[in-house]
């Protein structure tokens, strides 16, 4: 019986270690909330960024430089004034800086406060933004 309890204890610790290392998933960027610029300031200044929109829930304002943000296919590029004017988020929002390796700035994420997002660092010039819509009773 003593050997069985040792075996179970060791197995338990191995499973804990595997789950910790398995969840690490590689280097992560940061998405700290900011007070400035505001959502309306970014929207007014949108032509200074490459802008992507997820209908009714989020915007990405990417700095115009050679860095790359990988987005899934649910994001639409905003290319005209009318597209920007018609695009809106229908919930309370947060504005977050998108930071990659060495805290290098990639742009801003404006999104519903109910949703979740994180950033994976692919290399020194590329990040991938993961966005998770959280269903609320009122919808997007």
Query: Per residue in 115-127, pLDDT tens?
Result: 999 999 999 999 9
Pairing of strands 49-54, 76-78: antiparallel
| Residue 55 belongs to a domain | yes
Residue matched to tokens 């179970």: 8
| Residue 96 belongs to a domain | yes
Q: Which domain holds residue 47?
A: 25-132
| Residue 119 belongs to a domain | yes
| Residue 3 belongs to a domain | no
| Residue 7 belongs to a domain | no
Query: Per residue in 51-63, pLDDT tens?
Result: 999 999 999 999 9
Query: Per residue in 86-129, pLDDT tens?
Result: 998 988 899 999 999 999 999 999 999 999 999 999 999 999 99
Burial of 57 (0-12, 13-18, 19+ CB in 10 A): buried
Domain count of the fold of the chain: 1
| Residue 107 belongs to a domain | yes
| Residue 48 belongs to a domain | yes
| Residue 62 belongs to a domain | yes
């Amino acid at each position: 019986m003593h050997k069985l309890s040792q075996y179970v204890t060791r197995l338990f610790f191995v499973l804990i270690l595997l789950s910790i290392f398995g969840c690490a998933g590689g280097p992560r960027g940061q998405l700290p909330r900011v007070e400035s610029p505001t959502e309306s300031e970014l929207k007014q200044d949108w032509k200074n960024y490459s802008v992507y929109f997820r209908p009714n829930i989020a915007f990405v304002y990417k700095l115009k430089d050679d860095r790359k943000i990988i987005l899934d296919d649910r994001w639409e590029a905003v290319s005209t004034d009318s597209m920007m004017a018609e695009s809106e988020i229908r919930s309370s929002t947060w504005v977050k800086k998108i930071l990659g390796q060495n805290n290098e700035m990639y742009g801003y994420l404006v999104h519903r406060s109910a949703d979740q997002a994180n950033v994976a660092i692919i290399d020194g010039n590329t990040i991938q933004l993961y966005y998770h819509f959280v269903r609320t009773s009122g919808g997007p």
